[in-house]
Structures are given as structure tokens and as C-alpha cells.
């Protein structure tokens, strides 16, 4: 991999313009929220056994008491560790290698469709990719009606403030819309998958959960967290990575002609600069000291992933530019904290990069691929990150 120490030759910097997509202020009860922006402190919090998951509406879901087993994203302690061990095999590099032919066929179909039509919204292509791959891994392959991608998009797009302690109660209209979309997802996608796997087990997550005696509602919640979360975040990253690579011809050339290791390094560097989930939350379960500050038990810790990822003490100079091959301290991966850290680190990290790479290389190697319309960027309160929409690309001369 060619390194570019200081003075990176690429011009690409942050494209999602967070200053133009700033989240609204929470309107719920006032509660102490401690901002954590330094990389070392952020990593310590994410690895701490004395700070539990508090984001993605985890506390609201746990408070309802309607599931026997909390989904893996929300669980803690021995239960969480056991769940991660049991499901890790679906996301190992060896297992992901078995998915690669399927991902390649899907990517070929999507790129061929773009070639036939001449134009397409890249965010639509990335949604189709992410949903199809995640549905195969999770087991959502027996839907009663087409449109799983749009049902996922509608469910995630409903948003809702997930900041613990400050999240306002949803309006009755929003709550009804959320329940309706969840019910449709359950009836059209999750329940048919459960019935099919009760007849015959397959090598996927739903089959595994049935083997572990999960109830239907418990499986629904896992499908929401493993399935829709993975679909939504991968969709955003594929789109924003393509945006970067189409904006910088030299970076695109290095990516397209690079080895697999070099391409992955470029994707990790883009993800470092553009983490899809920009902020994650933990609640202190005992008195802590974070970055030299005392944090009382019960306080909310808001880990600013976007800020930690550009900490110059860790990533060095040109922190706000895409510089693949930058020198990082031992133990710090190329994407820094974009996949999280500690026991709640994203289990599908390797799969997300692999499917992104398979699709993007096939897309970006096309001659004449160009941007027709720049995308708009908004902010999703649920995942605390960007949404990139309306990114129109075309093949051929202007």
C-alpha cells in the first residue's frame, strides 16, 4: 500500500457537511449528558464494563418489558457475550468468503441495470445491495410481498430522537406510524421467515434463534437490530464512499487499480472521516473518571465518534482529509471508531466492507460514469448520523 505521510495528495475531505445537517436539540427531560470527544477517552468508555448501552432507543425498549430476551444490541453482561459468541460465525472472514459469490452476482445485476438505463440514483442501488445481502445473512428470504427494501427504508426513515434522557415522547401520529411499519415488517417478512425455518432449518440467523428457543417477538427484535440496522448503515456508507471516489479522480484510480487490501484501506479511511453513526451513548453504572473528569453513576456518556476519529493525537496531520495508508498507533484500526469498540463493536464490520468493495469496484471501473446530481444530506435522529439521498449518476457523455 502506498503511504502518504504528511501532506496527503488527495483533495477529498468531509462531504456530508455535518454543519448543514446539524441535529435538532432534544426536547425531553433534562439529564446530565457528558460529551466524550477525545479518542482515548472514547475508546475507554466503549470498552468499559461499567458503562452500558444507552443509545438506539435501547432504554425505551427495555422499559417496555415486552420481550423475553433483549436484542444483542441492547443486552449486557454474560447474556450479551454468549449471544455474540453464538452468532459470530455468521460474520467471520471465512463465512463472509462464502457470501462473496452471491454479493458479486447481485453487484453485477445492479451495475448491469445501471448500464441499461443509463442513469440511476446511487442511493437506490446501495439500498438494494444492502438489503439483499443482509436479508440472506439474517434469513429474511421468504417475504409474502415484494418491497422489503422500501419497508426497511420507511421504518428507519421514520427516525425519532434516540438520545437517552433528552428524547421527547413521540407524537401519537409518529407512534402509530412506527407501530404500523413494525407490524408490516413482522407480518410480511419476519413471520414468513420463521415459518419457513420451522419446517426446515437453514444456515442463517433466524434458524439459529429458533434453535435457541427464541419467541416470535424476540426474533422480530433481533431482525430489526441485525437486519434493518445493518441494511441502513451499509446503504449510507456505500453511497458516501462512491461520492468521495467520484469527486477525486486520483483517489478513484488508486482504488479501482489497487489490490483488495489497498481498496479496503481506502474504504476504511473514508469511513473514518464519514462514520455513519456519528454518536453513540452509554450510561455509567458506577462512578467513573473519564478524560480526567468525574462522572457520577447514572450519567449519560455521549461518545462523539466523528470527533474521536479526527483526533490529531491518533490520526496525525491532515486529519480531515482522506489519506489511505496513514500511520496509526498500534491497536488502532483504519476506520478508528466507526464500527464502535468494546463488546458492542459492530459484528458485521467485515461483511459491510466486503460487500461495499465488491459493488464499488464493479461500479467505478465503468468508463464514463459521472455525477448528474449531487445528493442532499440530512440527519437521522435514530442512528445519529447522515442520510445521503438523490445521488444521481449516469454513464456516457454529458
6 lies in a domain?
Answer: no
SS (H, E, C) the chain: CCCCCCCCCCCCECCCCHHHCCCCCCCCCCCCEEEECCHHHHHHHHHCCCEEECCCCHHHHHHHCCCCCCCCCCCCHHHHHHHHHHHHHHCCHHHHHHHHHHHHHHHHHHHHHHHHHCEEEHHHHHHHHHHHHHHHHHCCCCCCCCCHHHHHHHHHHCCCCCCCCCCCCCCHHHHHHHHHHHHHHHHHHHHHHHHHHHHCCCCCHHHHHHHCCCCHHHHHHHHHHHHHHHHHHHHHHHHHHHHHHHHCHHHHHHHHCCCHHHHHHHHHHHHHHCCCCCEEEEEECCCEEECCEEECCCCEEEEEHHHHCCCHHHHCCCCCECCCCCCCCCCCCCCCCCCCCHHHCCCCHHHHHHHHHHHHHHHHCCCCCEEEECCEEEEECCCCEEEEECCEEECCCC
Q: Which residues contact 178 (CB under 8 A, 6 or more apart)?
A: 155, 158, 160, 170
The pLDDT of residue 32: 79
304 lies in a domain?
Answer: yes
28 lies in a domain?
Answer: no
The pLDDT of residue 347: 86
324 lies in a domain?
Answer: yes
The pLDDT of residue 153: 79
The pLDDT of residue 82: 74
The pLDDT of residue 176: 77
9 lies in a domain?
Answer: no
Instruction: Give the pLDDT confidence of 255-312 residue by residue, as tens digits.
Output: 999 999 999 999 999 999 999 999 999 999 999 999 899 999 999 999 999 999 999 9
Question: What is the distance between the alpha carbons of residues 27 and 172, in angstroms, rounded to a whole number?
Answer: 16
> Which has the closest alpha carbon to 73: 97, 95, 53, 87?
53
244 lies in a domain?
Answer: yes
Specify whether the CB–CB gap between 10 and 326 falls below 8 A. no
239 lies in a domain?
Answer: yes
Q: Range of 192's domain?
A: 36-394
Residue 386 has phi, psi (to 5 degrees) of: -80, 155
The pLDDT of residue 61: 57
The pLDDT of residue 23: 47
207 lies in a domain?
Answer: yes
pTM for the full model?
Answer: 0.90
The pLDDT of residue 26: 44
Instruction: Please identify every stretch of the chain with a pLDDT value under 50, giving residue numbers as ranges.
Output: 1, 4-5, 19-30, 63
Q: Give the domain CATH number at 220.
A: 1.10.630.10
The pLDDT of residue 265: 96
The pLDDT of residue 16: 83
- The number of distinct structural domains making up the chain is 1
Amino acid at each position: 500500500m502506498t503511504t502518504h505521510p504528511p501532506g496527503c495528495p488527495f483533495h477529498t475531505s468531509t462531504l456530508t457537511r455535518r454543519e448543514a445537517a446539524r441535529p435538532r436539540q432534544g426536547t425531553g427531560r433534562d439529564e446530565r449528558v457528558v460529551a466524550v470527544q477525545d479518542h482515548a477517552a472514547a475508546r475507554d468508555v466503549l470498552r468499559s464494563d461499567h458503562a452500558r448501552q444507552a443509545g438506539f432507543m435501547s432504554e425505551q425498549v427495555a422499559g417496555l418489558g415486552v420481550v423475553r430476551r433483549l436484542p444483542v444490541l441492547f443486552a449486557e453482561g454474560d447474556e450479551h457475550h454468549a449471544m455474540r459468541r453464538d452468532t459470530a460465525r455468521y460474520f467471520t472472514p471465512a463465512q463472509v468468503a462464502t457470501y462473496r459469490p452471491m454479493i458479486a452476482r447481485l453487484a453485477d445485476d445492479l451495475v448491469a441495470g445501471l448500464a441499461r438505463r443509463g442513469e440511476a440514483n446511487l442511493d437506490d442501488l446501495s439500498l438494494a445491495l444492502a438489503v439483499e445481502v443482509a436479508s440472506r445473512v439474517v434469513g429474511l428470504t421468504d417475504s409474502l410481498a415484494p418491497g422489503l427494501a422500501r419497508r426497511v427504508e420507511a421504518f428507519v426513515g421514520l427516525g425519532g430522537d434516540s438520545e437517552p434522557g433528552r428524547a421527547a415522547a413521540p407524537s401519537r401520529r409518529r407512534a402509530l406510524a412506527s407501530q404500523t411499519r413494525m407490524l408490516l415488517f413482522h407480518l410480511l417478512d419476519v413471520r414468513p421467515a420463521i415459518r419457513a425455518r420451522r419446517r426446515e432449518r437453514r444456515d442463517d440467523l433466524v434458524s439459529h434463534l429458533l434453535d435457541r428457543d427464541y419467541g416470535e417477538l424476540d426474533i422480530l427484535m433481533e431482525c430489526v437490530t441485525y437486519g434493518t440496522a445493518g441494511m441502513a448503515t451499509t446503504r449510507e456508507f456505500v453511497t458516501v464512499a462512491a461520492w468521495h471516489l467520484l469527486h477525486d479522480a486520483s483517489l478513484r484510480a488508486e482504488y479501482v487499480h489497487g489490490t483488495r487490501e489497498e481498496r479496503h484501506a481506502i474504504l476504511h479511511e473514508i469511513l473514518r472521516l464519514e462514520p455513519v453513526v456519528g454518536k453513540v451513548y452509554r450510561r455509567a453504572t458506577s462512578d467513573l473518571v473519564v478524560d480526567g473528569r468525574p462522572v457520577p453513576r447514572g450519567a449519560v456518556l455521549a461518545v462523539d465518534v466523528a470527533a474521536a476519529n479526527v483526533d490529531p493525537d491518533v490520526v496525525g496531520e491532515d486529519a480531515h482529509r482522506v489519506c489511505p495508508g496513514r500511520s496509526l498507533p498500534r491497536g488502532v484500526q483504519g476506520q478508528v471508531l466507526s464500527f464502535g469498540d468494546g463488546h458492542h463493536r459492530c459484528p458485521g464490520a467485515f461483511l459491510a466492507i466486503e460487500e461495499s468493495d465488491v459493488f464499488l469496484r464493479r461500479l467505478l471501473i465503468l468508463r464514463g460514469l459521472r455525477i448528474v446530481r449531487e445528493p442532499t444530506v440530512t440527519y437521522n435522529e435514530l442512528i445519529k448520523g447522515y442520510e445521503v439521498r438523490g445521488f444521481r449518476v449516469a454513464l456516457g457523455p454529458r
